């Protein structure tokens, strides 16, 4: 019974940790010191901003660059970092920094927060996650400074740090301009650095260490790089590459002659802008093209890419690339009347397939309910509303300029959607992990039904 209570509490703690961070952030952002005008910010707007930062979404009702003071921007950046790494990870990192021993309860929380299958090497894993994150964000900030310091002077240092953290955490919030990165749509440094940070943050920490493991292994013996990667890494990398490249190619085609986006650009500029648009749908949320100017075909494609999102155990949202790959493989297995779902010559467990279906269904339900609710309180184009709710569910942050015009009820709906979109899949994953050893001894009888 005691063990069961502990299992239940881990799920609750993970969910409540996000809520507590949001509430503290809301209180701080409500203070006059956080506002650029020195006035108290309305509670609902502060709550919206704290939620979008903690859930690393990026939808904003107030322009970050002009609405918040340096103090307010620091609060937002801290919330982004907390949301990207996870509160449990940060608290564990502080415990290790203070040389405090982690108990079994702390380790179980970490295991659930990262959706890992074992407690082995957990402390080392957290150390590497925190260290790796800080190194990559630091390198990204230095790279940004080569552009932003000449453009903004000393203020460019702060802009570089903020943008680097936001990009790595897939938050999509920036303090450059009110039109996001549109002024840098053809700047190679900004485009390449941002894409690299988004992909590194969204690909997942497990993939990092697996790739490094194979690289180290290659120093000792001859290896076939891709073959020696784990199945998880193969699926995450392959699916991400296919989605990014296919998405970029299709956006390039759809926007090639669009006078509102890429018609007047040269081939290289069109290719770079198309690639960035495809990458930012990994739930990053930065925009180099006004989303409302995209063609309907591009917008529908982006909805699909946003819903999938990044990879597990990373900073991105969405149903995740591995989930999508498992669903497709399971569907093909069913069509071919095969009992087992296979990828890269390996059988997938029934548990993995069931979890993929559950995560996809939960995200779809959140998106559907949010879309219907927002449609009931907002007089806007259906595509704009769907773009908003998918973006909130998958914690992306791209908008067809609908967010700033949301009324009070619309803001509440999107706040709930962002929160559920962030914590829903996590809690579901935890629930599946907890049920591994709790299979029912008495099972109900089977009866055939018609499906399809």
Inside any domain, residue 167: yes
Give the residues of the chain that fall short of pLDDT 50: 1-9, 98, 437
Cβ atoms of 49 and 61 within 8 Å: the answer is: yes
Please give the model's pTM, rounded to 2 decimal places.
Answer: 0.88
Q: What is the DSSP letter of 400?
A: S
pLDDT score of 3: 46
Inside any domain, residue 414: yes
pLDDT score of 75: 97
Element (H or E) spanning 349, and its range?
A: none
Beta strand 346-347 pairing with 342-343: antiparallel
Q: Counting Cβ atoms within 10 Å, is residue 42 exposed (0-12), middle (13-18) or buried (19+)?
A: middle
Inside any domain, residue 143: yes
Q: How far apart are CA 181 and CA 174, in angstroms?
A: 8
Inside any domain, residue 35: yes
The two tokens of residue 104 are 């079994």
Inside any domain, residue 439: no
Cβ atoms of 90 and 79 within 8 Å: the answer is: no
Inside any domain, residue 21: yes
Strands (E), 276-362: 342-343, 346-347
445 vs 435, 441, 442, CA distance in Å? 21, 13, 10
Inside any domain, residue 447: no
Coil, strand, or helix at residue 332? helix
Q: The domain containing residue 420 runs over which residues?
A: 2-110+119-434
pLDDT score of 117: 55
Closest CA to 433 of 1, 15, 11, 9: 11
pLDDT tens digits for range 320-358: 999 999 999 999 998 988 888 999 989 998 888 988 998
Inside any domain, residue 451: no
Domains: count for the chain: 1
Cβ atoms of 102 and 92 within 8 Å: the answer is: yes
Closest CA to 281 of 322, 318, 238: 318
pLDDT tens digits for range 421-440: 888 766 655 555 555 545 55
pLDDT score of 92: 58
Number of neighbouring beta carbons within 10 Å of residue 69? 16
In sequence order, which residues have a C-beta less than 8 Å from that of residue 128 and are 6 or more positions away? 205, 209
């Amino acid at each position: 019974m005691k063990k069961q209570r502990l299992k239940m509490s881990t799920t609750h703690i993970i969910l409540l940790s996000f809520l507590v961070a949001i509430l503290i952030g809301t209180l701080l952002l409500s203070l006059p010191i956080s506002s650029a005008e020195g006035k108290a910010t309305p509670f609902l707007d502060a709550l919206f901003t704290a939620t979008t930062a903690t859930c690393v979404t990026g939808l904003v009702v107030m322009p970050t660059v002009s609405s918040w003071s340096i103090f307010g921007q620091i609060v937002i950046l801290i919330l982004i970092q907390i949301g990207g790494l996870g509160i449990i990870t940060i608290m564990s990192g502080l415990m290790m920094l203070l040389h405090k021993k982690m108990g079994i309860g702390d380790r179980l929380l970490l295991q659930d927060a990262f959706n890992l299958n074992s407690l082995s090497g957990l402390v080392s894993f957290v150390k590497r996650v925190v260290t790796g994150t800080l190194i990559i964000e630091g390198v990204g900030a230095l790279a940004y400074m080569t552009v932003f310091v000449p453009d903004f002077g000393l203020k460019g240092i702060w802009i570089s740090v903020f943008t680097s953290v936001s990009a790595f955490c897939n938050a999509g919030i920036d303090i450059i301009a009110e039109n996001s990165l549109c002024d840098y749509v053809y700047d190679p440094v900004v485009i390449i650095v941002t894409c690299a940070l988004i992909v590194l943050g969204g690909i997942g920490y497990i993939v990092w260490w697996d790739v490094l493991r194979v690289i180290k292994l290659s120093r000792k013996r001859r290896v076939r790089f891709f073959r020696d990667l784990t199945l998880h890494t193969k699926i995450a990398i392959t699916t991400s590459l296919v989605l990014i490249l296919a998405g970029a190619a299709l956006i390039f085609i759809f926007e090639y002659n669009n006078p509102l986006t890429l018609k007047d650009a040269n081939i290289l500029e069109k290719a770079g802008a198309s690639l960035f648009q495809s990458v930012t749908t990994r739930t990053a949320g930065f925009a180099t093209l006004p989303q409302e100017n995209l063609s309907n075909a591009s917008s529908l494609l982006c909805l699909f890419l946003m819903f999938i999102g990044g990879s597990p155990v990373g900073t991105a949202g969405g149903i995740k690339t591995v989930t999508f790959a498992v669903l497709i493989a399971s569907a093909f297995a069913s069509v071919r009347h095969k009992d087992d779902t296979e990828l890269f010559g390996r059988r997938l467990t029934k548990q993995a397939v069931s979890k993929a279906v559950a995560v996809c269904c939960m995200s779809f339900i959140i998106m559907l309910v949010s879309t219907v609710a927002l449609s009931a309180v907002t007089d806007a184009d259906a595509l704009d509303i769907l773009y908003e709710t998918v973006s909130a569910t998958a914690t992306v942050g791209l908008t067809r300029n609908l967010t700033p015009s949301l009324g009070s009820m619309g803001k509440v709906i999107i706040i709930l959607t962002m929160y559920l979109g962030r914590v829903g899949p996590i809690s579901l994953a935890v629930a599946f992990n907890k049920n591994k050893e709790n299979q029912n001894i008495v099972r109900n009888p089977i009866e055939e039904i018609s499906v399809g």
